[in-house]
Structure 1
Amino acid sequence: MNHTIESQQRERVRIHVHDTADEASRALAREIAVLVRDRAAAGRAAVIGLATGSTPVRLYRELVRMHREEGLSFKNVVTFNLDEYHGIPRAHAESYWRFMHEQLFDHIDIPPAAVHIPDGTVPRAAVFDWCRDYERQIKEAGGIDLQILGIGRTGHIGFNEPGSGADSRTRLVTLDSMTRRDAARDFLGEANVPRHAITMGVGTILDARRIVLLAWGGAKARVIADAAEKPPSETLPASFLQQHPDATFLVDRAAASELTRVRLPWLVGHVGWSPSLSRRAVAWLSRHVKKPVLKLLDDDYTEHGMADLLTEQGPAYMLNIRIFNELQHTITGWPGGKPGADDTHRPERAAPHPKRVLVLSPEPSDDVLGMGGTIRRLVEQGHHVTIASQTSGNLGVPDDEAATLADFMIELDDSGPRETGGGSGAALARLIKQQLDSKSAFDGDPPELRRFKGVLRRGEERAALRSCGVSTENIHFLDLPFYEQGRYRQFRAGGADVDTMVALLRKLEPHQIFATGDSEDPSSVPAICFDVLRQALARTRDDGWRRDCRVWLYRSPARDWDIAGIDMAVPMSPMELSAKIQSIRHHKSQRGQQTGEAWQQAGHHDQTVARAYDEFGLANYEAIEPFRQWKE
């Protein structure tokens, strides 16, 4: 436990917070390089446990760079991977064997015999003996010197789902439903995600001499805080790392955002009460004691560690009114600004009107999921609204959806007048059917099939946005190269992506930009798309139009935001929420592809925001779409 640092007194494991995932990955890569070189100098092997998934990708890229540019050799390294899906071959696009070779092993000089990865093809009856042998190989190698981990939203490490004990060993496990939902996008549907995996046990992991857990993005923030601050429990396997004498969490700022020292710093030490921190504290207190803010008493503040806030900004009555007014001023039915109105206390400027508005959607459907009601409102209020899907989203289309569209096109052609002959569309559909019929479950899509799936998603996006009132000529598809030339967990944006974004910004010269992806996992499509926007904004910083442009962040549909961090809240009536859900339903190919809540509970998160405003003592709306203003 970190008793030596006041602000970290609730953390039962060491946590190092880095500004970015890249910075944290470089720090761990340097530690690994020291270990490898020290062992080589002593004539010994360095035994390293490795993880898969998007989290360690940046680490592996840095190790590859160090091998190529700094001469870091891996000839004396022995590796043991944490886990593998059971029942899929090594050639499967989502097998961890393939992932590790594509991300790391094919690019360094590690001896093939030194690589150990659980074998997902072992027959069920032989798995128990195979797992015992894996444990034996680890011991014969001298044990693991450094074990690298990621963490799942259920708190799993490896595939040790809730219920895994601290003494569990390498074994076959059944995957949790949330874990399978989180993998649904990679497998083009939850139904295709394997139900079982082979994983090192918690006890096997704890045997390592040193453990480093990596976590990026706001989606991991809650589970990181729980794993670090709650007592060890089988319901949260990562919490057992608290019992290890040399375990460290390396996280970026987004993943650290739920730690007590970040979210509720007044509970663990003296703080300087900035306006934003005061607002956050009062909002938290209102929720914690279950009182509307205007009913909070001096005793409520003093009993919950905020006596100094009262001393500086009290009494409670005056502080309550100030914070109440601040949050009330975030609510607006005019997301583009109300023309001719006093905008002193409004989140958006009244002028100019109408505004040129650009809404960026990382993949088609992100826009209507996150702000479909606000898009409709902006159009109805006369603004020039342009929607730009940054990627085609073709990787998110299941084969059976493409087959259904191809069958429709072929039958439409066959049922037409004989004298018309077969059109080019029908010829393409027949080619697509041939490719689908000859494609195995783990083959990548040929270029024609990817383009066909992209066309399918374009059609869905146009239909969804037309239902929001957006005209077809104002719907753009950027098809950023990083996405078209890559696949999930292997995306790398480059200059061509930024050039495309710069060209669009300079063409439209928007007064408002709505975007999402800030604080997401940096390997995710939304985060990469937001980084492309950020670089484009840096390139255009001196353009004249930038002086009048504001950037608003809309929320990922699967994430809840704290009411205190909202800068603009756009309310929706029951009819408007229903209209938003109808717009989302046009994205039929994504039904079951979105991670759990995003599709199934499209309006739930907006209603959660509305309830938070209601409980705070503000107006009671059916739903609210929240936004934050982004500043460079």
Structure 2
Amino acid sequence: MNEFTEREQITTNIYEDADRACGFVADAIERLLRERQSQGKSAVLGLATGSTPVRLYRELIRRHREEGLSFANVVTFNLDEYYGLEGTHPESYRRFMQDQLFDHVDLDPEKTHVPDGTVEREDVFASCRRYEEKIEEVGGIDIQILGIGRTGHIGFNEPGSGPESRTRLVTLDTLTRRDAARDFLGEENVPRHAITMGVGTILDARVVYLLAWGDSKAGVISESVEGQPSASIPASFLQLHKDCVFCVDGGAASQLTRVRYPWLVGPVEWSPSLVRKAVTWLAQKVQKPVLKLVDEDYSENGMADLLTERGSSYELNIDLFNQTQHTITGWPGGKPGADDTNRPESASPYPKRVLVLSPEPLDDVSCMGGTLHRLANQGHEVTVAYMTSGNLAVPDTEVRRTIELIIELGEGHEDQAEVSFARCVQRQLEEKGQFGLDTAEIRRLKGLIRRGEVRSSALMLGLTVDHLTFLDLPFYEEGRYRRFNVGEEDVNRMHALLEEVQPHQIFVTGENHDPLSIPALCFGVLRDAMEKSSDSEWRASCNVWLYRGPGGEWEAHEIDMAVPLSPSEFENKIQGIYQHQSQRSQSPSLAKNGAGNTWNVASELNHSTAQVYDQLGLPEYEAIEGFKKWSLNR
């Protein structure tokens, strides 16, 4: 511990990326396995599911295949299982573990344990007791691997779970079920109950490693590490463990005090970006416009050394005000013929070739619909590329509605090809049931539904069908959530589009997201494709602008370009979002704290950003969409 980490009640290691964090944990597991193997003893691992530990399991598989790491002496116990699912179900955690680890190493199947989700209700208590007894019989868990949910749950210990809780049947939180909705092709298909190890069971492990990636986990990581232990954040009870380490990437660490407010915990080097962050924070904290901050505000809030370095609050205030003011522009593509000295985007060339990348349909309009409308109306050559079809996010109910429409429209017509296709999909829906996998035909129809929604939305934004490109990247079309693998063809398709458009501007999201999320995978595809285009002439003059992503917005100090929206423009954006009918139910990526729908969440974010600018003393706007400039080399 040092002055920067003294607020942290759990040892927290911050890594450059998830792979480095997983390497650290894999080293610990390897040491344990080799030590126990040399002693002729078993090693007992507690394992987690979900996207978070997938990279760890891949690294362990690599070490098994390439370095001879053996799992023959390993006994495993999984944290949890959905209640009511057979182990063969594609979304069961038993199946997940087989796919992600067990089938790829030399584990004895008899030594792998996952809670039984099929036991009769009256036998659940006894089954859970037996699970606890099995852990005790092998001497307890040596290393427990954890992820963390947005509610602060570990395993399926939802808010309200205390440190005394043991393995038991639990009712899943609404937000937890919503987060799993896409895995089950609709929230209505997600089981309402699960069997989970208790917090107390987890605390009994000798060593605990909790993994977390992406800034969507930042808030709950901060609360768990720096807040008081509380049943409202079950992960906070890990503060009671004597050997627990949180291994997180920069995104997940971004709300820890030492990262978010480093000047409050120790001396810092005041870089321009840190000064901007600190002064913006100060104005919001004392609830004053920037230009009204005084020396006492700085000195009373841990920033006296900044005053000493810069001389006075007056100069600091002016600098921050000007910086923030210069981010505001109604011309996101640059204003032709204007002095662009203090504008975020250059005036020339005009018109610009603009490429907007949307990981899934709806991401573009929900995050930057107003800016899209501006770019199109101001005469730029705008191409919107939907990197994936988004077919996995379409509930079966939407497909049934579409099938009925196709069949009804086709009655009495000679050409029955569409009707035959619709009836084929109808049969396949019935055959797959509630939990089966979508066939290629079902996914095709779901993709067509989303294309139709995209076209309707584009019309609201002033775009035409000619402006739209559907990449249908193979990693998505051939995969499923948490089981995506990006390949060369994905990068080749993106590279071909870049070379065709040769953009002056690219708008994209995905940086600092969970590395296995669709936005992060798509961002990686773009990054690799741009590296392939490193010698292309267009690269030298291309600006890349990051939009924050569904359900989030950049903080004021992070914004390099702020595009204000008038009331009518904002309403136009909301109408564009509303065209995505299949996504009108709450989306995991857009729902905030479990409440709201796609257009309400977008409305709240854009209004909030405008309010922050207003509070800082800048002009008052109806709404603002924010963007951060990105460099491939950073």
Give the TM bin, normalised by the shorter chain.
over 0.9
Q: Does 2:492 correspond to 1:518?
A: no
The residue aligned with 2:574 is: 581
Q: Which amino acid aligns with 1:630?
A: W
**Is 1:376 equivalent to 2:373 in the alignment?**
yes
Residues 189 and 434 of structure 2 are in contact (CA less than 8 Å); yes or no, is this contact kept in structure 1?
Answer: no
Could you give the per-residue CA deviations for residues 428-486 of structure 1, whole angstroms, max 9, x where no partner exists? 11111111121122211111111111111111111111211111112000011111111
* Regions of 4+ moved over 6 Å: none
* Separation in structure 2 between the aligned mates of residue 557 and residue 391 of structure 1, nearest angstrom: 15
Equivalences for 1:79-478 in 2 at 5 Å? 79-414=76-411, 416=412, 420-478=413-471
Q: Is the Cα contact below 8 Å between 1:396 and 1:593 reproduced in 2? A: no
In 2: Cα distance, 1:295 partner to 1:529 partner: 43
In 1, Cα distance between equivalents of 2:128 and 2:311: 62
Is the CA contact 2:295–2:312 (under 8 Å) kept in the aligned structure 1?
yes
* Residue 550, structure 1, aligned to residue 543, structure 2: yes
The 8 Å contact of residues 47 and 145 in structure 1, kept in 2 or not, is answered as yes
Task: Return the alpha-carbon distance in structure 1 between the equivalents of residues 3 and 467 of structure 2.
Answer: 54
Are residues 1:480 and 2:477 paired? no
- Superposition deviation, residue 191 in structure 1: 2.4
Q: Is the 8 A contact 2:71 2:106 kept in 1?
A: yes
Alignment check: 8 A CA contact 2:15 2:249 kept: yes
CA contact (8 A) 2:217 2:252 kept: yes
CA displacement 1:172-198 (0-9 Å, x = unmatched): 111122212222222222222222111
Q: SS state of the match for residue 551, structure 1?
A: strand
Unaligned 5+ segments in structure 2 are: none
Q: 1:602 deviation in Å? A: 2.5
Measured in 2, the distance between the counterparts of 1:176 and 1:506 equals: 46
In the aligned structure 1, how far is the partner of 2:153 from the partner of 2:253? 18
In the alignment, which residue of structure 2 is the partner of 1:42? 39
Q: Give identity over the alignment, percent.
A: 60
Instruction: Answer with 496-505 or 569-578: which moved more.
Output: 569-578
Structure 1 residue 561: Cα displacement: 2.3
Indicate conservation of the 8 Å contact 2:186/2:396, yes or no.
no
Residue equivalent to 1:536: 529
What amino acid is the match of 1:620? E
C-alpha distance in 2 between matches for 1:310 and 1:551: 34
SS in 2 for 1:629: strand
- Tell me the CA shift for residue 94 of structure 1: 1.7
Instruction: Report what 2:606 is aligned to.
Output: 606
In structure 1, what residue type is equivalent to 2:179? Answer: D
Give SS of 1:8's match: coil
Task: Tell me the secondary structure at the aligned position of residue 603 of structure 1.
Answer: helix
The residue matched to 1:513 in structure 2 has which SS? strand
User: Take 1:317 and 1:121, find their aligned partners in 2: how far apart are those partners?
Assistant: 68
Contact 1:607–1:624 (CA<8 Å) still a contact in 2?
Answer: yes
Any idea what the Cα deviations from partners look like across 1:545-566, whole Å, max 9, x if unmatched?
Answer: 1111000001212124211011
Give the C-alpha shift of residue 226 in structure 1: 1.2
| Distance in structure 1 (CA, Å) of the matches to 2:47 and 2:437 | 25
1:268-326 per-residue CA deviation (whole Å, 9 max, x = no partner) reads 11111111100000011111111111111111100111001111123112211110111
Tell me which amino acid in the other structure corresponds to 1:501.
M
Displacement of 1:593: 5.3
**SS at 2:602 equivalent:** coil
The residue number in structure 2 matching 1:15 is: 12
CA contact (8 A) 1:355 1:511 kept: yes
Deviations 1:391-443 (A, max 9, x none): 111111111111111111111111x4xxx424321111111111112112221
Q: Is the aligned partner of 1:615 residue 2:615?
A: yes
Distance 2:361 2:498 in 1: 19
What's the TM-score, normalizing by structure 2?
0.97
Kindly state the Cα deviation for residue 578 of structure 1 after the two structures are TM-superposed: 1.2
Give the secondary-structure state (helix, strand or coil) at the position aligned to 2:165.
coil
Cα distance between partner residues in 2 of 1:601 and 1:7 = 34
Measured against aligned partners, the alpha-carbon deviations of 1:194-242 in whole angstroms (never above 9, x if no partner) come to 2211111111000000000000001011111111111211111111111
Query: Secondary structure of the residue that 1:601 maps to in structure 2?
Result: helix
- Pairing 1:66-77 to 2, within 5 Å after superposition: 66-77=63-74
SS at match of 2:91: coil
Q: Take 1:243 and 1:560, find their aligned partners in 2: how far apart are those partners?
A: 34
* More deviation, 554-563/581-590: 554-563
Q: How far apart are the structure 2 equivalents of 1:203 and 1:400?
A: 41
How many residues align? The count is: 625
What is the CA–CA distance in structure 2 between the aligned matches of 1:395 and 1:314, rounded to whole Å? Answer: 57
Q: Compare 143-152 and 569-578 and name the one that shifted more.
A: 569-578
What amino acid is aligned across from residue 555 of structure 1 in structure 2?
Answer: R
* Counterpart Cα distance in 2 of 1:497 and 1:17: 30
